[in-house]
Amino acid sequence: MSTIAEIMSTDVRTIQPQESLRRAAQCMQELDVGSLPVCDGERLLGMLTDRDITVRGVADGLNPDDVCVSDIMTPDIVYLTVDQDVDDAKRMMGDRQLRRLPVIDADRKLVGIVSLGDLAVRGSGHIDKALRDISEPGQEAR
């Protein structure tokens, strides 16, 4: 059985909590990603997604130059530790409908990220169930 440390991506760009929403959106555009871990140094504080920017920022009429990442980030995040196995990642992603999970060490320092793509390319076994669970419509759409 593979561990998260064996399949995670370690080259992870982050954003600091005091950065503006505009800067966060620019980073996402430059990197062609939909989420960024929010870190104070190496310590993981939360996650910011393009959906957070849209729903909590733009939809509420907030000025992207005046609002900080920390104002709209998701602070209660789901994460993995380097020693967990790949099946844990599949289960957590499926249960919570997440496409990526940050990976932390014992000091809550960000050391990587695991995406659905990592599971597909490097993970052992099939990801069919995780993909079905992640892709299932949310409660409002049912």
Write down how long the chain is: 142
Considering the entire predicted model, what is its pTM?
0.81
Biggest alpha carbon distance in the chain? 47
Total domain count, the chain: 1
How far apart are the C-alpha atoms of 77 and 101, rounded to whole Å?
9
- Cβ 25 vs Cβ 53: under 8 Å: yes
Q: Which CATH number goes with the domain that contains 104?
A: 3.10.580.10
Query: Across residues 114-142, what is the average pLDDT?
Result: 62
Parent domain of 99? 4-141
**Local structure of residue 142 (DSSP, 8 states):** -
Residue pLDDT, tens place only, 33-69: 999 999 998 899 999 999 999 999 989 999 999 999 9
Beta strand spans in 34-106 (E)? 35-40, 43-49, 80-81, 100-104
CA angle 11, 13, 17 (to 5 degrees): 145
Residue pLDDT, tens place only, 73-92: 998 889 999 999 988 988 89
Would you state the pLDDT for residue 29? 96
Per-residue confidence at 1, pLDDT binned at 50, 70, 90?
low
What 3 state SS string does 7-37 have?
HCECCCCCECCCCEHHHHHHHHHHHCCCEEE
CA angle 9, 14, 20 (to 5 degrees): 155
How many alpha carbons lie under 13 Å from residue 106 in its C-beta half-sphere?
Answer: 1
Per-residue confidence at 142, pLDDT binned at 50, 70, 90?
very low
Share of the chain above pLDDT 90, in %: 56
